[in-house]
Amino acid sequence: MVEAVVTGDPQAVKRVVLVRARAEVVSVRGRRVGVRVPVLLIAADRRWLGMVPSQRVRFMARLTPPRGAELLAATAIVRGPPIVLGPPSALQRGAEKVRASLRRAVERLPKDQRGVLPGMVVGDTSQLDPRLAEEFRTAGLSHLLVVSGANLAIVIGGVLWACRWLGFGRRLAPLAAGLAVAAFVVVARPEPSVLRATVMGVIGLLAMLTGRRRQGLPALCAAVLFLVLIDPSLARSYGFALSVLATAGLLILAPMWRERLRRRMPAFAAEALAVAGAAEVAVAPVLVMLSGEVGLVSIVANLLAAPAVAPATLLGVIGGVTAPFALPVARVVVWPAGLAVGWIVWVARTASGLPYAVVPWPGGALGAMTLIVGGCCAVIVLRWRRVRMIGGAAMAGVLVAVVGLRVFAPGWPPPGWFFVACDVGQGDGLVLAAGPGQAVVVDAGPDPALMDACLTRLRVRDVPLLVFSHPHADHVDGAAGVRHGRTVGTVVTTPRTSGRETRFVSGLIMRVAAAGQRWTVGDLTLEVLGPMTDGPRLLFNDDGTTVNNASVVMVARRPGFSVLLPGDVETEAQRALAASVPHVQVLKVPHHGSRSQDPAFLAAAHASISIVSVGRDNDYGHPAPSTIALLQKLGTHVYRTDQSGDLAVTRTAGGLAVVPHHT
């Protein structure tokens, strides 16, 4: 039994709720131990979403060591709902009232606008579409969805302007701005970026009160030291590092670049370009280290979005303050804010959809160092005219080559494709072509947005057959993505299913697979090899191996193509089915290439191509080196979605070929 105080807003992530809390009492076998340590709660009960920071709760949990570099005492796997021991503090009740009122004020706006505006104003992304959040990230605009120094600067500027208009003196205006900052931080929650921005704002206000000139860089250094001393965990927070680096870029690089650009363009354009470029350059090494990608459109996207940020933020803040007292007035106020947000959403969507919006780059420390070295080389090239001309010629040649490849190379999907393993992360999302705009889908991955995006790229509009090999989240939770904007016919499940997948396919025809059964769609035939129907039905608490071994195992054939789709069957089920496995051209490697493989099962397929559907940097160690070595020993060519993205199997003059596609 654990007693804790909630310290952050609950977040729904796929099938669980994540809650940050401070554990204060741990009871084990009747013994109570007082503690005061940060913990991360992982709960399946959706009632945890109603918790508010500062609430004291009691719950049953299994404590495990935390993963990653974050400073946590433990990760708590929570059983059941929270037992609330007390209400939130008065401040947090007020903050939650403002946040809830803002959500009500924007509820009549279009879906995208009502998801983004609360995020821009108070960091509330509870209504944000994950697909739109990914588009913001690709466009380099994700910083707009969290409260940062820019938000606070806009609020402070608005308050000071209002004070000047109302005739407040030099002493009263900073005090009013200080009160606004305090209220803003309470409502937005004291996240690392908010804390950094708050301390910077307070230092600036003190400078106004004392009449001394504000020194930006010393103020930033003071803010960093002050915050790290108060909360040492910020020293290991990437979000805090990104916030500080962006501010440092604005203080150090932007003024110098602005002066140089003013010689060649209007002052307002030089200011905007210098600010956007300085922030992007400063944070680029850390972003590359985290994501393994370099964004090529982020500066332009930020320039286009910048004019709408201040109106959206200020009007959103006014709407949030007004909503608790006059909701109809707040709805009128947030309407123009929604128009500004609509422009930002359009910029994010358009920029993220451009070719090469992001390009792959080595991740980790190596990627950061290579980017820094590349940047230094670029500075050297720009400093000398002759070297600049050579570099410009080389870049022009690269640009011509890239454009030529884009124009003359076949697009995606490759013509005449038979089969695609979608890059859905750690899971399976498999697509079999069945006619123009039509495909059979076997498993839907863990994320609806990723599955929907893959089917959209393949131009699939009709799914006459959707097969769930077994009811694990990484195979069924993306089902909403299959159904999004498409017609879905029959759903096929394992005969031993626990029924967990039924919540994703309400209203559809459901059938149970049986060994020897055949399904035909156009010229595509699917034959079921297993499992046998005489096994016991699955229970919700069955272990992973039991569920995996209940997978539907199928062979799909069409003229000139055949593939074995074994779900996640492990060694025991593979041994039972090895004698019935026919020769095929393509093997979808069972269970994401785990080490639980029967060599006889893999060898029986005689596949020349093996595809591993697996997530990058997954926690399971998939695919196992021993499995890759076994497949290579069998003489099959191995392809992996974590390394190559979507993988399409198509026919060429020389036989079957695998065409990768990075998203």
Question: What is the Cα–Cα distance from 587 to 647, expressed in whole angstroms?
Answer: 13
Question: What is the Cα–Cα distance from 466 to 489, expressed in whole angstroms?
Answer: 7
Mind listing the pLDDT tens digit for each residue in 400-422?
776 665 555 557 889 889 999 99
**CA proximity to 344, closest of 206, 38, 139, 582:** 139
518-521 sheet: strands from edge to edge: 518-521, 524-530, 553-558, 561-565, 586-588, 609-612, 637-640
Residue 163: both structure tokens together: 């004070």
| Percent of the chain topping pLDDT 70 | 87
Residue 190: both structure tokens together: 């004291």
**CA proximity to 601, closest of 621, 629, 573:** 573
**CA proximity to 75, closest of 136, 2, 150:** 2
**CA proximity to 71, closest of 261, 219, 240:** 240
Cα-Cα-Cα-Cα dihedral sign, residues 388, 391, 393, 398: negative
213 pLDDT exceeds 50? Answer: no
Question: Residue 585: its pLDDT value, please?
Answer: 96
Question: Residue 249: its pLDDT value, please?
Answer: 80
pLDDT band of 636, cuts 50, 70, 90: very high
Burial of 497 (0-12, 13-18, 19+ CB in 10 A): buried
pLDDT band of 542, cuts 50, 70, 90: low
More confident residue, 649 or 247: 649
> What long-range pairs does 201-204 form, CB within 8 A, spacing at least 24?
201/149, 201/152, 201/153, 201/156, 201/177, 202/178, 204/156
- Highest mean pLDDT out of 1-5, 149-153, 351-355: 1-5
Question: Residue 614: its pLDDT value, please?
Answer: 95
Q: Where are the beta strands (DSSP E) in 93-200?
A: none
Residue 212: both structure tokens together: 């001394």
More confident residue, 338 or 237: 338
Mind listing the pLDDT tens digit for each residue in 382-394?
677 777 677 777 7
Give yes or no for a cis peptide into 415 (omega within 30° of 0).
no
CA count, 13 A, side-chain hemisphere, 216: 12
- Ranges 63-72, 112-121, 345-354, 575-584: which has the least confidence: 63-72
Burial of 229 (0-12, 13-18, 19+ CB in 10 A): exposed
Question: Residue 267: its pLDDT value, please?
Answer: 77
pTM: predicted TM-score of the whole model, two decimal places: 0.63
Question: What is the Cα–Cα distance from 335 to 50, expressed in whole angstroms?
Answer: 28
Burial of 405 (0-12, 13-18, 19+ CB in 10 A): exposed
More confident residue, 482 or 91: 482
Residues 548-573: what's their mean pLDDT?
94
How far from the centroid of its chain's Cα atoms is residue 583's Cα? 39
Q: Are 568 and 544 a contacting pair, CB within 8 Å?
A: no
* Measured CA angle at 384 (ends 380, 387), to 5 deg: 80
Residues 87-104: what's their mean pLDDT?
84
* Measured CA angle at 501 (ends 496, 503), to 5 deg: 135
Cα-Cα-Cα-Cα dihedral sign, residues 529, 535, 536, 541: negative
More confident residue, 582 or 283: 582
Mean pLDDT of the chain: 84
58 pLDDT exceeds 60? Answer: yes
- Ranges 120-134, 401-415, 428-442, 572-586: which has the least confidence: 401-415
Question: Residue 520: its pLDDT value, please?
Answer: 94
Q: Are 201 and 222 a contacting pair, CB within 8 Å?
A: no
Q: How does strand 31-43 pair with strand 56-64?
A: unpaired
Scanning the structure block, which residue is given the tokens 């307070």?
202
Cα-only R_g, the chain: 28
Q: Are 553 and 531 a contacting pair, CB within 8 Å?
A: yes
Per-residue b/e over 413-422, b at no fewer than 16 CB within 10 Å?
bbeebbbbbb
Give yes or no for a cis peptide into 413 (omega within 30° of 0).
yes
DSSP for 93-116 reads: HHHHHHHHHHHHHTTTS-HHHHHH
44 pLDDT exceeds 90? Answer: no
335 pLDDT exceeds 80? Answer: yes
Residues 36-61: what's their mean pLDDT?
89
